[in-house]
Chain A
Amino acid sequence: MKVLAIDTSNFALGIALAEKDNVIGEYITNLKKNHSLRVMPAIETLLRDCDTKPSDLEKIVVARGPGSYTGVRIGVTIAKTLAWTLKIPLTGISSLESLAANGRYFNGLVSPLFDARRGQIYTGLYEHKGNSLETVLEDTNILASDWAKRLKGYDRPVLFIGSDVALHNEALQGMLSDLAFFAPTALYNPRPGELALLGMDKPEEEIHHFVPNYVRMAEAEAKWLEQQGR
């Protein structure tokens, strides 16, 4: 099965083409450039280099968030539309789970994270068991200091991965001290090849109703609900 994977949920732009357990091609950039402009040309280039036509694709896998609202929407819109128009299945994978895959050989828990401003992070807790990546705690939006407290309860080594980790280094290391491990920068970018393999055998989504996982409500909506409560 030929799978196209798309991740534009954060700073890095990632596209991969995979077949069975083989990543055929992978394109990653870590640039401050516009995703909307660059995703389709990147897909076009990668498929051309891999001698693959759009009609050869058999599945689309997309990183569905959390992350930048606009970034996640660009990837999800392209993924949905491609899957719908090519009449092939679509699978959404957590952007954090995809990043957690980079911690495959770590003996302990893996906490991928993206900055969510004002001391907050988007994160989840994962663990590699043999060949499978298991979710220990669901993706959430939480203060880095509160997250560190929760992790302390596990009393196990935790690997933090992601380019925003440095922003929260103090809060995490302060609480976990020598149980906190930080991935090297070469593992900061989520790999679209991992995303493709993670989604390869996962169940397909109902395409029309597939939406990003923003984790957070839109600000206007949260405020409105708060006012209703009064």
Chain B
Amino acid sequence: MEKDQLILGIETSCDETAAAVIKNGTEILSNAVASQIESHKRFGGVVPEIASRHHVEQMTIVLEEALTQAGITYEDIDAIAVTEGPGLVGALLIGVNAAKAIAFAHNIPLVGVHHIAGHIYANRLVTELKFPSLSLVVSGGHTELVLMEAHGEFTVIGETRDDAAGEAYDKVARTLNLPYPGGPHIDRLAHEGTPGLNLPRAWLEGTYDFSFSGLKSAVINTLHNAEQRGEKIEPAVLAASFQESVIDVLVTKTLRAAKAYHVRQVMLAGGVAANKGLRAALSGAFEEFTDVELVIPPLYLCTDNAAMIGAAGSMLFQKGKRSSLALNGNPGLDIEQSFN
């Protein structure tokens, strides 16, 4: 029998300090996350300097929790996988340097992981990947469609030309005076209202690209104009209309790409994948499309975590990727180039 492969994953690209142990790329032995959301709430968004300070406070605590929960020692670890980018540079540096210190101290191989590759591989903790596979990645910083023909081979076939979907959610939430982070509040409100407002959808025909800045401006203008006329728009109606517009574009484009590329699997990835409206709409759209498997990971694997970094790192390690002790945080890392 072959020996199990154990990967220690580390993630600090934004406001979660996380460490996890993954077995054979598919099984979670531990998954520790220290969230900073409470600390950033008062600022209405993530403050990079504060995030970096919290990562230093939490890093070894979270690492110890992950190792203790998994019940393993350093001799058992085959590789350390760490998010090298993209993300907040000061935040990335904490995970990267902690990973390098452990790798050096115990002579363990090190593997740098692209954050979005991590979000995509969170799905492998649910079910095995089937190629060609299409991922809809939606988060605060990303909105893209990523096609994979094989493990580790990522092709971005569509991406946002301006705001990420999560960013648009946060801005609309701020306009409605909803607390940070706004996404879940819009999602909740949207379920309380019916989408009565006619808001624009940017189709960008002939491409799989997205654009949300026009929609965001339309929401702000609609509110503003109503105010000028002395009318009041129900926040729930606005939230429902906004959410319908975002989801309509996301789901339609995903479905179109899935057909065009004859994929066997469609996976949802990124923090916005926690959105109930999006999950429901995607499930509905793929219901009659039975030759494609739709994978939607559980909520705790959609938000930032280190289990997903361990899962992606496991695959990269297997494919021979090794990073040196000169590994650095790279806030602009490109997923298509991330293998080397």
Q: Which residues of A contact B (CB under 8 A)?
A: 34, 36-41, 43-44, 54-55, 69-70, 73-74, 76-78, 80-82, 84-86, 207-209, 211-212, 214, 218-221, 224
Is B59 in contact with A43, judged by CB distance below 8 angstroms?
Answer: no
Is B97 in contact with A74, judged by CB distance below 8 angstroms?
Answer: yes
* Contact residues in A for B53 (Cβ distance below 8 Å): 73, 211, 214, 218
Task: Specify which of A74, A207, A209 lies most central, judged by the most chain B CB atoms within 10 Å of its CB.
Answer: A74
Name the contact of A80 in the complex, choosing from B60, B74, B90, B329 (C-beta under 8 A).
B60
Is A70 in contact with B104, judged by CB distance below 8 angstroms?
Answer: no
- Shortest A205–chain B CB gap in Å is 12
The 9 tightest CB contacts between A and B, nearest first, are A81-B101, A40-B325, A220-B47, A218-B49, A81-B98, A40-B100, A84-B60, A37-B328, A54-B105
Contact bitstring B145-166, A, C-beta under 8 A = 1, else 0: 0000000000000000000000
Once bound together, how far apart are the Cα atoms of A43 and B97, in whole Å?
12
Q: Quick one: closest A residue to B12, CB to CB?
A: A77
Is B43 in contact with A224, judged by CB distance below 8 angstroms?
Answer: yes
Once bound together, how far apart are the Cα atoms of A69 and B57, in whole Å?
14
Once bound together, how far apart are the Cα atoms of A144 and B97, in whole Å?
34
Is A85 in contact with B97, judged by CB distance below 8 angstroms?
Answer: no
Name the contact of A40 in the complex, choosing from B47, B59, B104, B329 (C-beta under 8 A).
B104
B42 at the interface (CB under 8 A from A): yes
B63 at the interface (CB under 8 A from A): yes
Is A77 in contact with B59, judged by CB distance below 8 angstroms?
Answer: yes
Once bound together, how far apart are the Cα atoms of A212 and B64, in whole Å?
20
* Contact residues in A for B102 (Cβ distance below 8 Å): 81, 85
How many residues belonging to B are interface residues under a CB distance threshold of 8 Å? 35
Once bound together, how far apart are the Cα atoms of A77 and B61, in whole Å?
12
- Shortest A209–chain B CB gap in Å is 7
Once bound together, how far apart are the Cα atoms of A224 and B50, in whole Å?
12
Q: Which residues of B contact A (CB under 8 A)?
A: 42-43, 47, 49-50, 52-53, 55-57, 59-61, 63-64, 74, 90, 93-94, 96-98, 100-102, 104-107, 324-329
Is B104 in contact with A208, judged by CB distance below 8 angstroms?
Answer: no
Q: Quick one: closest A residue to B97, CB to CB?
A: A77
- Shortest A42–chain B CB gap in Å is 9
Once bound together, how far apart are the Cα atoms of A178 and B329, in whole Å?
47
Name the contact of B106 in the complex, choosing from A40, A41, A85 (C-beta under 8 A).
A85
Is A78 in contact with B100, judged by CB distance below 8 angstroms?
Answer: yes
Task: Specify which of B100, B101, B104, B107 lies most central, judged by the most chain A CB atoms within 10 Å of its CB.
Answer: B101
Once bound together, how far apart are the Cα atoms of A174 and B284, in whole Å?
76
Q: Could you count the A-B residue pairs with CB atoms below 8 Å apart for me: how many are there?
A: 103
Q: List 20 A-B contacts (CB under 8 A).
A: A36-B96, A54-B104, A54-B106, A73-B56, A77-B56, A77-B93, A78-B100, A80-B98, A81-B97, A81-B98, A85-B105, A207-B60, A208-B60, A211-B53, A211-B57, A212-B56, A218-B49, A219-B49, A220-B43, A224-B42
Is A44 in contact with B101, judged by CB distance below 8 angstroms?
Answer: no
Once bound together, how far apart are the Cα atoms of A174 and B60, in whole Å?
47
Q: Quick one: closest A residue to B60, CB to CB?
A: A84
Q: Quick one: closest A residue to B89, CB to CB?
A: A70
Is B47 in contact with A36, judged by CB distance below 8 angstroms?
Answer: no
Once bound together, how far apart are the Cα atoms of A82 and B102, in whole Å?
7
Is A77 in contact with B326, judged by CB distance below 8 angstroms?
Answer: no
Is B105 in contact with A218, judged by CB distance below 8 angstroms?
Answer: no
Is A209 in contact with B104, judged by CB distance below 8 angstroms?
Answer: no
Is B101 in contact with A77, judged by CB distance below 8 angstroms?
Answer: yes
Is A34 in contact with B60, judged by CB distance below 8 angstroms?
Answer: no
* Contact residues in A for B324 (Cβ distance below 8 Å): 41
Once bound together, how far apart are the Cα atoms of A89 and B78, in whole Å?
26
Once bound together, how far apart are the Cα atoms of A133 and B63, in whole Å?
36
* Contact residues in B for A36 (Cβ distance below 8 Å): 93, 96-97, 328-329
Is A40 in contact with B328, judged by CB distance below 8 angstroms?
Answer: no
Is B56 in contact with A81, judged by CB distance below 8 angstroms?
Answer: no
* Contact residues in B for A43 (Cβ distance below 8 Å): 104
* Contact residues in A for B97 (Cβ distance below 8 Å): 36, 39-40, 74, 77-78, 81
Is A209 in contact with B57, judged by CB distance below 8 angstroms?
Answer: yes
* Contact residues in B for A220 (Cβ distance below 8 Å): 43, 47, 49-50
* Contact residues in A for B104 (Cβ distance below 8 Å): 40, 43-44, 54, 82
Once bound together, how far apart are the Cα atoms of A77 and B49, in whole Å?
15
Name the contact of A81 in the complex, choosing from B52, B59, B107 (C-beta under 8 A).
B59
Is A73 in contact with B106, judged by CB distance below 8 angstroms?
Answer: no
Q: Give 17 new A-B contacts, CB below 8 A, not counting A69-B49, A77-B94.
A: A36-B93, A37-B326, A41-B324, A41-B326, A44-B104, A69-B52, A70-B52, A73-B53, A77-B59, A77-B98, A81-B98, A81-B102, A211-B56, A214-B53, A218-B49, A220-B43, A220-B49
